[in-house]
Amino acid sequence: MTRERLVVIGNGMAGCRAVQEVLKRDPGRYEITIFGAEPRVNYDRIMLSPVLAGEKSFADIVINDEAWYADNGIALNAGCKVEAIDRIAQVVRVDDGRDVPYDRLILATGSDPIRLPLPGLDLAGVVTFRDLDDVEAMMAASAQPGRRAVVIGGGLLGIEAAYGLARRGMAATVVHLMDVLMERQLDASAGFLLTEAMRARGVETVLEAQSDEILGKDGRVTGLRLKDGRVLPCDLLVMSVGIRPSTALAKAAGLAVERGVVVDDQMRTSDPHIFAVGECVEHRGQCYGLVAPIWDMCRTLGETLTAGSGTYQGSVLSTRLKVSGVDVFSAGKFGGGEGCEDIVFRDAGRGVYKRIVLEGGKVAGAVLFGDASDGGWYFDLMKSGEDVGAFRETLVFGQAATEGLRGLDPSAAVAAMTDTTEVCGCNGVCKGEIVRAITDEGLDTLEAVRAVTKASASCGTCTPLVEKLLKLSLGDAFQAQTGPKPVCGCTHRGHDEVRRRIVSEELKSIPAIMQALEWTTPDGCSACRPALNYYLVCAWPGDYRDDKQSRFINERVHANIQKDGTYSVVPRMWGGLTSSDELRAIADVVDKFDIPTVKVTGGQRIDLLGVKKDDLPAVWADLNKAGMVSGHAYAKGLRTVKTCVGTDWCRFGTQDSTGLGVRLEKFMWGSWAPAKVKLAVSGCPRNCAEATCKDIGVICVDSGYEIHVGGAAGLHIKGTEILTKVATEDEAVWTICAVMQFYRENAWYLERIYKWMDRVGLAAIKAQVEDPEARRALYDRFSYSQRFFRIDPWAERVAGRDSHEFNPLSRRMEFEPA
C-alpha cells in the first residue's frame, strides 16, 4: 500500500513538532518531506538568546539531529525554498525546479521580524534577531573590543539580545518606545526592577524614545538618531520590534489570510488539504509569538492528521525571560484593572517583587520578579480557575507555604497528572516517559533524568516539576538539589563543598571522598573521577598518588588523541625559543617515524601530528636526547608562555619580555590546574604576544609590569581585565604564581580562569594578590607543589613507566581475522 504524502513547509520548531506529534500517534502513516529555508537541522529558536550570551552552544540547542530525520524516514530539504503551491495539482514548486506532490500539506512558515522603515535601514551592521545567522552576525560584531550596540525594542527578545551582547563585551543600549520595558508582560514596578537589573549587567535603557534615523558612514552604521535629537553612537544596530506572520506563500496560493493564515479549530486552512501551525497562523483572530501555543497547535494538528478528533481552543499565555540571574515570570491580567484586586509582596533586600491579580476570587494574572519559582503554580491556578479564597492569605508566599499550611501533600497534584501530560515543552517529554526512566533505569538525580530523557535540559522552566516527579517516584530517597550544581550525576554535592571537605576532613584518595561524601555510584563516572583526582593532586601534592585510570586519555599518555586514534606530540620550547639543534632533532624524528604533519601552533610551538600510539615512547626518547621535554599541550595545566622579543631585539621593547616568559615557564611547567592555562608576556603595549586574550598575561611598560587575567580566545572571546601593576620582575613572578595557585585551589574542574573570575569576581582575586601575606602564602604553596610536578612525564615513560599503555596486551591474534 502506498502511504499518503505529507509535505511540511518550514523546518522550524512548529514544523518539526507537528511531524513529531504525527509520528507519535501513527509512525507509519505518512511519507514525510520537510522543506526548510535555513541550511541546517531543526533547533530550539527560543534558546538563541543563551547562544548569543555564550551560555549555550549551537549543538546544545539542536532539537532533532540528522539521525532523527534518517531514523524516521523523513526527507529533509534544508536550504530549499518553496516558491509556490499549486492547489489544483496538489504539488509544491521548489526553487531547484522540482514539483513535489502532496496529499496533505502543512504550512509552518513562521514569521518575519519587522524592520522599521527608517532611513539608513540598509546600512551594514543593521540586523534583526531571528535566526542563527543573525546571532552569528551579532557575535562577529561583538568580537572586537570597545564596540557599542543599540537595540531598538525593549520587549522580551530585545532585552535578551542586549544582555547577550553585553555579555560579549559590547556596551549595549536598549531603546524603547514605551515608558516600561516589556510593557506587554510587566507592570511599572517590575519594569523598573528590570531596568535596574539590566543596568547592573551592563545594559543601559532609554525609555520613551522614538527612533528617527539610522546614521552611517561609508555604508556602515555609526549611530541612531532619536526624534528628540539625541544621537546614540553604535557599531551594531539590532531591530527587535516584533514579528509579522509570514504569509506570502499562502496568500499567493489563494488561501484565506488576514494578519496570519486563517485556520479553524482543527488547524485547517481554507483548503481542506492544507493545514497551518505556528507563528504564521491566525486562530480565532489571534496570532501567537510564543512557544507554548505552538506546542498546543501541533498537538491538535497531530490529532487531526491521525485520529481526526483534535480541537484547538486558543492558548493562555505566560512568559519567562532568559537572562541569567534575572528571574521574571508574567501571565494573564498582570496589570490588574476594574474589578481586580492585587496582592503584592516586596523584599527589597533580595530584589523580589510579586503581584498576584485576583478577579472574582480567582487568579487572573501574576507578575513575578526576582523569584519566579512559583510561576508555574500561579499559571496552573489561573488556567484551572480554582477559587483561591480559602488560602488567599498565603497565596503570595507560593505553593510550598500554602500547601504546607493547608496540610496538603505537595506531591498530590503531581501524582494526579496523567502519564500523557507534557512536562517539558521544549523537548516534548511527558510525565509517563520521565517516571518510566526513573524507575526502569534507577535514576535518582535531576542531572540523570536530563541526560536520559532531555526533560528540563533546555530552558529549565519545568525543573521544579521534574524534581517533584523524582520525589514522587523515589520518596525520601530523593534529595532535591538546592543550591550549587552537583559535580555530576553520582552526587548531589557541588564542587565547592567537595573541595572544602577534601581539605578539612583530610580525604586523600578517591574512594575516601566517595565514602565520606556519600557518592551514589561504586566508582564514579567519567565526569567526577578526573575532577576528584585533580582536587586531590592540588590539595595533597606531596602525598597523593595520581590515579591514572581517572585521567582522560590525553593526560594518561601525555599526548593529544586525534580523530583517527593517532596522537600529536608537542615538545616544550621555553617562551617560544628554539635552536638549530632542537629543530634538527625534530626534523630527524619526523623522518624516522614517518610523521605525516608538522604544524606551528598558536602558542609558538611545533606540533607533530599523526604519531602512532605505540611509537610515542621512542619519539619522546629521541626528543629527550636533544634536551626537549613534554610541552604539556594535552594538559589541564600550564600549557605555553608566549613571548615577543622584548628589549633583546625590539626597538619598542620596555622590558626583557622573553626572559620573563622563559623564567615563568621554567618555574611553572608541569603544574596541573582545573583547566588549561595559557600565558603570554608582551614587551610593550603594542602587545605582539597577544597577552590580553590569555588566561594570565603580562604587558611590560617603562615603569614595570601590568598583570592581566581572565582572557580567552576560543569558544568565547574575551579580553583580560587588569589585575595589578608591579615594579619588578620578581614581583611579577610572585603575583602570577599566586593567581595561579588561588585558581588551582578554588576553581571548579574544567572551569577556565575567565569563567572562574566571572563567578568569584575580579575583586576577590585582587584582594589575594594585593595583600602581601596572602600572596606570599599562595606563592609558597605553589612552589611546594612544583617540587613534585616539575618532572618530565616523557622521560619517565621512556624509562619504562606505564609501558603497558603503549603495548598491546597480546599480538597473538594480530594476523588472524577475529
- Residue numbers at the binding site for other proteins (CB under 8 A): 67, 451-454, 521-526, 529-530, 549-550, 552-554, 556-557, 561, 563, 565, 804, 808-818
**Min separation Cβ 805 and other proteins, Å:** 9
b/e burial code for range 99-119 (CB count within 10 A of at least 16 → b): ebebebbbbbbbbbbeeeebe
The pair phi, psi for residue 600, each rounded to 5°, is: -90, 130
**Min separation Cβ 533 and other proteins, Å:** 10
SS3 160: helix
**Min separation Cβ 156 and other proteins, Å:** 29
**Min separation Cβ 564 and other proteins, Å:** 8
| Contact residues for 759 (Cβ-Cβ < 8 A; gap 6+) | 751
| CB nearer to other proteins: pick between 40 and 613 | 613
**Min separation Cβ 14 and other proteins, Å:** 24
C-alpha 183/C-alpha 442 separation (Å) is: 46
| CB nearer to other proteins: pick between 501 and 556 | 556
**Min separation Cβ 512 and other proteins, Å:** 15
Measured torsion, CA atoms of residues 194, 197, 201, 203, in degrees rounded to the nearest 10? 40
Scan for cell 499567493, then name that residue: 252
CB 161 within 8 A of CB 151: yes
Phi-psi region of 189 (alpha: psi -120 to 50; beta: other; left: phi over 0): alpha
Scan for cell 598518588, then name that residue: 545
Closest to 675 in 3D by CA, of 534, 496, 779: 534
| CB nearer to other proteins: pick between 100 and 455 | 455
| CB nearer to other proteins: pick between 228 and 816 | 816
Helix or strand (DSSP H, E) at 472: helix 463-474
| CB nearer to other proteins: pick between 452 and 765 | 452
**Min separation Cβ 520 and other proteins, Å:** 11
| CB nearer to other proteins: pick between 58 and 391 | 58
**Min separation Cβ 816 and other proteins, Å:** 6
Closest to 576 in 3D by CA, of 676, 681, 656: 681
| CB nearer to other proteins: pick between 81 and 556 | 556
Distances (CA, A) of 718 to 239, 588, 721, 760: 25, 39, 9, 17
CA angle (662, 665, 670) in 5-degree steps: 155
Assigned C-alpha cell, 666: 621554567
**What's the distance, CA 689 to chain centroid?**
29
Assigned C-alpha cell, 475: 520518596
Angle between helices 132-141 and 156-167 (to 10 degrees): 40
C-alpha 274/C-alpha 259 separation (Å) is: 18
**What's the distance, CA 35 to chain centroid?**
28
| CB nearer to other proteins: pick between 427 and 657 | 427
| CB nearer to other proteins: pick between 521 and 728 | 521
C-alpha 620/C-alpha 634 separation (Å) is: 15
| CB nearer to other proteins: pick between 217 and 804 | 804
**Min separation Cβ 530 and other proteins, Å:** 7
**Min separation Cβ 614 and other proteins, Å:** 10
**Min separation Cβ 565 and other proteins, Å:** 5
Distances (CA, A) of 807 to 410, 615, 616, 799: 58, 10, 10, 14
**Min separation Cβ 338 and other proteins, Å:** 50
| CB nearer to other proteins: pick between 283 and 797 | 797
| CB nearer to other proteins: pick between 71 and 496 | 71
Q: What is the helix, strand, coil percentage profile of the chain, to 5?
A: 35, 25, 40
| CB nearer to other proteins: pick between 418 and 526 | 526
**Min separation Cβ 471 and other proteins, Å:** 22
| CB nearer to other proteins: pick between 277 and 633 | 633
| CB nearer to other proteins: pick between 217 and 812 | 812
**Min separation Cβ 817 and other proteins, Å:** 5
> How many C-alpha atoms does 616 have within 13 Å on its Cβ side?
33
| Contact residues for 696 (Cβ-Cβ < 8 A; gap 6+) | 677, 679, 707, 708, 709, 736, 739, 740, 753
**Min separation Cβ 79 and other proteins, Å:** 24
**Min separation Cβ 808 and other proteins, Å:** 5
Size of the chain, expressed as the number of residues it contains: 818
Scan for cell 538539589, then name that residue: 481
Locate all alpha helices (DSSP H) within 57-208, ordered by sequence. 58-61, 66-71, 132-141, 156-167, 188-200
C-alpha 204/C-alpha 402 separation (Å) is: 38
b/e burial code for range 80-92 (CB count within 10 A of at least 16 → b): bebeebebeebbb
C-alpha 185/C-alpha 450 separation (Å) is: 30
| CB nearer to other proteins: pick between 415 and 813 | 813
| CB nearer to other proteins: pick between 530 and 541 | 530
| CB nearer to other proteins: pick between 476 and 814 | 814
C-alpha 334/C-alpha 157 separation (Å) is: 19
| Contact residues for 56 (Cβ-Cβ < 8 A; gap 6+) | 47, 50
Closest to 410 in 3D by CA, of 480, 460, 457, 358: 480
**Min separation Cβ 561 and other proteins, Å:** 6
**Min separation Cβ 429 and other proteins, Å:** 12
